Amino acid sequence: MMRGFVRSNGTESKSIRHNCLVLLLFLAALLPCAGCRERSPAPADTNTPQSESPAPAAPSASDSVAVTVNGVEIAEREIETLIQPELDRIAEKAKQLPPQLVEQYRKRREQETLEKLIVQRLLDAKVKEANIKISEERVMQQIREIAAALDPPMSVEDLKERLESHGQDFEKMKEQVRRGLAYEELMQPQWAGKINVTDQDAKAYYAENKENYQTPEQVRASHILIKPDTDDPNQARARAKAEAQELLKQIGAGADFAELAKAHSDDSLSASNGGDLEFFVRGEMEAPFDKVAFALEVGQVSDVVETSYGYHIIKVTDHKDASVVPFEEVKDDIIDQLKQEKRAELVRNYIESLKKQADIVYPRKEGAEAR
């Protein structure tokens, strides 16, 4: 499938089923896992008398306390540890930006991570208070379901290999899933009797958001792209056009379009698939390409079409008229979505209530008060 050539925007939509698994992942993703284990206190210095306390070393910026939540400290070091991998990933792109923008981004990510850690501490305390325990088997069952729900479906071993190949830690994922399951169990009493959604609710939502269930007209096309040689700008476009016209003659004489695309197209991503671009909607391609593709009949081949990328020969292979997805086909998805929204709202309300009841203090903010 072509990517980067002629498409003016590469957005793709997928119907996502909102269910308890999605909510679990929402909760798990909300709260970062790295550094989530409490650090064990350092062993006592046996050479120091029990009656005397050694003078504490002056804390560095990393050792400073960012916030205390009901007396439990969150160190700035913990925040730095969580955001540093992300900052490392964008380091090259950041070099091209003004330093003040990079610093603004870093501060925003620090604040977002700090707020997530505050929520984590509050929920963890409630999980402990409720004596919620999540077994290893339950964690692994959930991971099996997560892996099976991926596209394409994976085994747990496949998922583990994929995570490790991207520098992620499978054990940390397990901790995240365990925490998410614990939070979900914690929220069950908050959700009880409050997330009922009827068919009438779904019908009302469908009627109010019918544009979301409209499928626009689509065509499926293949193309052969001949790009001008950038090393010779004066003659390049003429030569590229001539080459495309020669290929068009071969197609007219009976040559196989897909084989010519594989052999000659400069769109490397689609060429291996015989030039196939899959289905696209109006406005997704550059205007000249778009206009021709939607004017062709299925099986028809265009003349040579010029875009900013070069010269194309287009063959339409399928067509879908605009349509509206019937309510019955999306009813279950809508009900799941509305339930998910109700659950998420109750989660937000519960977290806000915990924050209001908590003693949250920011020591480094001059004049900060408990919230």
pLDDT digits over 289-331, tens only?
Answer: 999 999 999 999 999 999 999 999 999 999 999 999 999 999 9
For the cut 70, the answer to whether the pLDDT of residue 366 exceeds it is: no
Find the mean pLDDT for residues 159-165.
90
Cα gap 279→13, rounded to integer Å: 12
Q: Cβ contacts of residue 110 below 8 Å, gap of 6+?
A: 79, 80, 83
Higher pLDDT, 135 or 14: 135
At 174-202, the pLDDT tens digits run 999 999 999 999 999 999 999 999 999 99
Indicate the CATH number for domain 217-321.
3.10.50.40
Higher pLDDT, 322 or 52: 322
Q: Are 316 and 298 in contact (CB under 8 A)?
A: yes
Within the chain, which residue ranges are assigned CATH 1.10.4030.10?
A: 20-33+60-198+330-361
Within the chain, which residue ranges are assigned CATH 3.10.50.40?
A: 217-321
At 331-349, the pLDDT tens digits run 999 999 999 999 999 999 9
Catalogue the long-range contacts made by 106-111 (C-beta closer than 8 Å, 24 or more residues apart): 109/83, 110/79, 110/80, 110/83
pTM here is: 0.62
Find the mean pLDDT for residues 198-211.
96
Q: Measuring CA to CA, how many Å separate 46 from each of 41, 53, 231?
A: 14, 12, 74
Domain 20-33+60-198+330-361 has CATH 1.10.4030.10: yes
For the cut 90, the answer to whether the pLDDT of residue 42 exceeds it is: no
The dihedral formed by the CA atoms of 344, 345, 351 and 357, expressed in degrees to the nearest 10: -160
Question: What are the percentages of helix, strand and coil residues in the chain, rounded to 5?
Answer: 50, 15, 35
Cis ω for the linkage preceding 152 (within 30 of 0): yes
At 210-229, the pLDDT tens digits run 999 999 999 999 999 999 98
Q: Note the pLDDT of residue 247.
A: 97
Backbone phi, then psi, for 59, in 5-degree steps? Answer: -70, 140
Cα gap 174→139, rounded to integer Å: 7
Q: Note the pLDDT of residue 21.
A: 45
Chain mean pLDDT for the chain: 83
Q: Note the pLDDT of residue 234.
A: 65
